[in-house]
Structure 1
Amino acid sequence: MDPFATLHQPIGVFDAGIGSYAAVRLLQERFPNQDLIYLADRASFPYGGKNRQALLEVTAQAVQRLQGLGASAILMASNAPSVTVLEDLRRTASVPLFGVVPPVAEALALSKSGQIGVLGVRSMVQSPELGAYIAAASRGRGQAFSFNASALVDLVESGAFLTDPARTTAQVDVFVRAILATQPEIDVFTLSSTHLPWLDAYFQRLFPGKAFVDPVRASIEALECLTTTGTGRVVCAVTENPTHTASAFRSMLAAMRIDLQPVVLGGLQ
């Protein structure tokens, strides 16, 4: 039996790997009867290493896949494409499409110094769209500096944050200290890749005087008007390539004690 056919008006959630499961988990907590499709687009990992056109192409394919699987709405749980290509995707999507964006206004409201750091992948922090977004969100109430945290995203996607805590601790420590050496007044960081909240325990332990803001929660609330009563089931789908295999993804789910059996998706029809 097709596992997707048994779902009732599911909401699709996707990014290029394990990061978007954090959004799935929050949706389950907030809307326990909502059916979900969780797509890990491993074949296109990493989103953060792609230019704008390539990012638009692979995320459009992911949206098309989820629509084909019956998604009634879609959350693109990835900051980079949400900042850079979301509006383009909305023009062609046949269902409501939501994104996850850096919580700049929230971070500035928390900051005592008026200086915050936006941590994200390379394609986002180097994009002109992020600069425009920050300017609109901050409204002159402070300063937001952006930093390429792709190396930390790789720690999560590789599973090293689970299997090698010593390496993870050292890498997180060096990364944040390098930022503070040049911008010591930053007291709030936005974790603007859905992978980064998996490192929250490391951030909190190493830098207890700083605040780290997860961008996903506000996006979850935006979906409330579209939620329905189903069985609360989650069906996981995964794409793969020779480097990022479905088998490796299954191993990561097992290591994280996530009880899902991903369905491997082939090429688009």
Structure 2
Amino acid sequence: MTQTDLISPVAVFDAGIGSYSIVARIREKWPQKDIVYLADRASFPYGRKDSDALGQVMLRTIHFLEGYHPSSIVIASNAPSIMVLETIRDKVKTPLAGVTPPLAEAIEKSKTGHVAIMGVQSLVESVMFADFIAPFAGQATVSGLNASPAIDHVENGDFLFKPDVTQATVDRLVSEIRAADPLIDVLTLSSTHLPWLRDYFERAAPDCIFLDPADAMVEQLDIGPMGHGRIHAIATEAPGYEIAEFERMLARIGVDLTLEKVSF
């Protein structure tokens, strides 16, 4: 498949496997929309980069994807969406969308006024994260929680093939959450990996509500004209993050895609 086979595709990218959940949601809502799906394995992981490094990676990647003449580009990762999206928006021509914690919805659904945002460590400990939650300070008690140990179980496929190990990690994380603030009753799954673990979290904390940030983003997406319902899957790679292994990871979650190698 070439660029000319696609009609104003929406481009979706991330460094890990979690972002495919966004592709699946777009396909479900708009079956005829063409999609460019990029797995930027050469930049894995986004979640352990600082804001300067993330900004450079985002601009380089977006400028590459603009070569497909997309109707919009989705940064399918919570960390760069919070940390750098607004600083780079005016540096690109294409409409950008990001995935951010649905904090207003979490506060609305909470009965206790105590909510939590789960994400990677670099996100929840960043200045930008503090700025993101600051406007809500008078409405609720908002905590940022490092969920990286659970996220690792998605990247390595444990959540499919080692459910007991995955559940044990999630149980420990939930125990830590309850110890930090036992009143928390709504949590956002603010890494695109975490929705794959939703069943695990709901088993560990059946009395809590878990929200997926992708829901609101997909509803608000500037989707543009329809095409032929094609997915053009591409990927970068680096030693230790080869495309063949990523294809095997996708296959484990029931996704049969052949990725074309690109570099930029």
Q: TM-score, normalised by structure 2?
A: 0.96
Contact 1:33-1:228 within 8 A present in 2 as well? no
- Are 1:43 and 2:56 matched, yes or no? no
The amino acid across from 2:166 in the alignment is: T
Question: Could you say which residue in structure 1 is the equivalent of 2:65?
Answer: 66
Shift of 1:58: 1.3
**Which runs of no fewer than 5 residues in structure 2 stay unpaired?**
none
Q: What are the ranges of 5 or more consecutive residues in structure 1 without an aligned counterpart?
A: none
Shift of 1:139: 5.6
* Residue 228 (1) aligns with residue 211 (2): no
CA drift of 1:61 comes to: 1.7
CA distance in 2 between counterparts of 1:5 and 1:180 reads 52
Counterpart among 229, 243, 246 of residue 243 in structure 2: 246
The corresponding residue for 1:156 is: 154
Amino acid at match of 2:22: A
Cα distance, 1:72 vs structure 2:
2.5
| Counterpart-to-counterpart distance in 1, 2:194 and 2:123 | 14
Q: Does the 8 Å CA contact 2:18/2:192 hold for their aligned counterparts?
A: yes
Aligned residues: 264
Q: Partner residue of 1:208?
A: 206
Higher mean alpha-carbon deviation, 124-133 vs 189-198, is at 124-133
Task: For 1:89-104, list aligned pairs within 5 A.
Answer: 89-104=88-103
Q: Which residue of the partner structure matches residue 172 of structure 2?
A: 174
Query: 4+ residue stretches of structure 1 with deviation over 4 A?
Result: none
**2:252 is the alignment partner of 1:265:** no
CA distance in 2, matches of 1:154, 1:44: 16
Identity of aligned pairs, percent?
44
Task: State the match for 2:143 in structure 1.
Answer: 145
**Partner of 1:9 in structure 2?**
8
Rounded to whole Å, the distance in 1 between the matches of 2:197 and 2:3 is: 31
**Which moves more between the two structures, 99-108 or 254-263?**
254-263
Q: For 1:101, what is the secondary structure of its paired residue?
A: coil
Q: CA deviation at 1:17?
A: 1.2
In the TM superposition, residue 71 of structure 1 has moved relative to its aligned partner by 2.2
3-state SS in 1 of match to 2:233:
strand
Asked if structure 2 preserves the Cα contact closer than 8 Å seen for 1:12 and 1:37, the reply is yes
Aligned to 1:237, the other structure's residue is in SS state: strand
C-alpha separation between the residues in 2 aligned to 1:65 and 1:159?
A: 29
Q: What is the DSSP-based 3-state SS (H/G/I as helix, E as strand, rest coil) of the residue aligned with 1:34?
A: coil
Q: 1:201 to 1:4 in 2, by over 3 A?
A: farther
Alpha-carbon separation, structure 1, partners of 2:92 and 2:124: 26
Following superposition, the deviation at residue 69 of structure 1 comes to: 2.9
**AA matched with 1:174:** R
Q: Distance in 2 between matches of 1:216 and 1:149?
A: 17
SS in 1 for 2:116: strand
CA distance in 1, matches of 2:11, 2:18: 14
Q: Which amino acid aligns with 2:122?
A: S
**Shift in Å, 1:158:** 1.5
Within a 5 Å distance, the mapping from 1:112-131 to structure 2 comes to 112-131=111-130
C-alpha separation between the residues in 2 aligned to 1:4 and 1:120? 34
After TM superposition, give the deviation of residue 260 of structure 1 in Å: 1.4
